[in-house]
Structure 1
């Protein structure tokens, strides 16, 4: 059976690459050097796990799917995936990528999720956006491993509940554990802490809700799904920032890991958001 060697949950800041690599040193933001150092340290948590395949969790930022027909959950099943979209190149400096796929694991995952009551959509012509490419840049910049991309709806109401994201994570874990292979799999997913996009709290000195951020990191790092389900609702996420619903993808990643302590937790407070980097090792810390 497959070995799940690591689960990574991270925020995905689209300006990271531009801020740390494309901008001349004299013009970089004050946090650029620290930001880059933190990302490089985080990258080592995935490298140490020695994965053969990456299950990647993200969300489409209205590049391919729109409010009139946005899939609740979707999995890609194709031999390769193109990235990035033009506006992401133009605004964020994110380069184009071609990621290899793993059609066998995608098919096995798709059937397993259907069998467990998750009515997934499937795509054979999926193009990847920065919710997956940003974690590739930060955790596996060589982009040399096959991927199985999973997209969730965190943008277009009605949204699945936080409990549904946790349950989906547990189902993904079961399927990985049952996958008949001797290969090692890592799961890497990205989402948000408190986040405001286009609203009055977007450009504050911190993220829009530092209290939510502090609690969220604490709950995730301790595998405390009970506290999350008691405290995190659509209303509380909206109150923390109009794009905070991306936190549910981080709940999903904790679901894959289970009720265990994170082996690695780091964060960085930028002027309008808090970045978070977290890794669980279900089979024990290989470092």
Structure 2
């Protein structure tokens, strides 16, 4: 049977991908960020993760405001990495496991989540920015991806509680798949940042660290928060944090935090945290 062995929360700042592609891993401004991912990559390799389920958001690359789904799941053997204006990245296409993805889609619909299904669409930095920091990619990725896009751009957005329940439904889907797979769930986005308007450049480290503590120990408090609460505390774009609740919902009640790295050097608090599920 498929099992969830752990979860990762990670920022998906597009400049992470740019810095990675330009070989800035040892640059003094970037080294604290890249070093923070090394324990997570080592854990994934040691535990031989077969699949990464990504809860991420599309930044108007595959979807646009004239047709922007609340929840969308990719089903396909491959997904190209999007060119977001800086040219094609030197990464192989993301691999998919169609039978596993289709099983998750059917299970979620039967669990009363009405999904949009997409195929062969490009995946942008919401997933692709942190991915090469987690998995090696030469000559190819070591496993497959299940991309689950969540609307955090066009109101009305799903609530934090709805995202948590999506994660719970994804867990039920994974655990009902009759093939031995080792699955890790990944929530991306955030933490505090705002990239437009009067509060451009806003960050709130105190709130970021409180969010991480609540995510681990009391996610119910985070589910009770409104979108306005997230925006007030962390800036307009920090509403992306509701995607971390999907990851947390998929993990179940018993988890252990193995690693956390928080680095604030730009307009976004760049963070990675690793949880291991406990039996």
TM-score, normalised relative to structure 2: 0.90
Label 1:171 to 1:34 Cα distance change in 2 as closer, same or farther (>3 A). Answer: same
Deviation for aligned residue 1:283:
4.5
- What SS is found at the alignment partner of 1:151? strand
Residue deviations 1:203-257 (CA, integer Å, cap 9, x gap): 3xxx5222321211111232x1122123x21111221211111001111111111
RMSD in angstroms over aligned alpha carbons? 2.1
Tell me the matched-pair count.
Answer: 274
What pairs up with 1:201-280 in 2 under 5 angstroms?
A: 201-203=199-201, 208-222=203-217, 224-230=218-224, 232-239=225-232, 240-259=234-253, 260-280=255-275
Counterpart CA distance in 1 for 2:125 and 2:92 is 11
Counterpart CA distance in 2 for 1:277 and 1:136 is 12
> Which ranges of structure 2 fall in alignment gaps of 5 or more residues?
none
Residue in structure 1 matching 2:123, options 104, 120, 128: 128
Asked if structure 1 preserves the Cα contact closer than 8 Å seen for 2:74 and 2:118, the reply is: yes
**Aligned residue in 1 for 2:277:** 282
Counterpart CA distance in 2 for 1:256 and 1:46 is 17
Label 1:241 to 1:94 Cα distance change in 2 as closer, same or farther (>3 A). Answer: farther
TM-score, normalised relative to structure 1: 0.88
- Of residues 36-45 and 67-76 in structure 1, the stretch that sits farther from structure 2 once superposed is 36-45
Asked if structure 1 preserves the Cα contact closer than 8 Å seen for 2:19 and 2:25, the reply is: no
- What SS is found at the alignment partner of 2:215? helix
Deviation for aligned residue 1:21:
5.4
Asked if structure 2 preserves the Cα contact closer than 8 Å seen for 1:84 and 1:95, the reply is: no
Q: Does 1:44 align with 2:42?
A: yes
Counterpart CA distance in 2 for 1:43 and 1:193 is 20
Asked if structure 2 preserves the Cα contact closer than 8 Å seen for 1:132 and 1:189, the reply is: no
Deviation for aligned residue 1:176:
0.9
Asked if structure 2 preserves the Cα contact closer than 8 Å seen for 1:67 and 1:156, the reply is: yes
Asked if structure 2 preserves the Cα contact closer than 8 Å seen for 1:20 and 1:33, the reply is: no
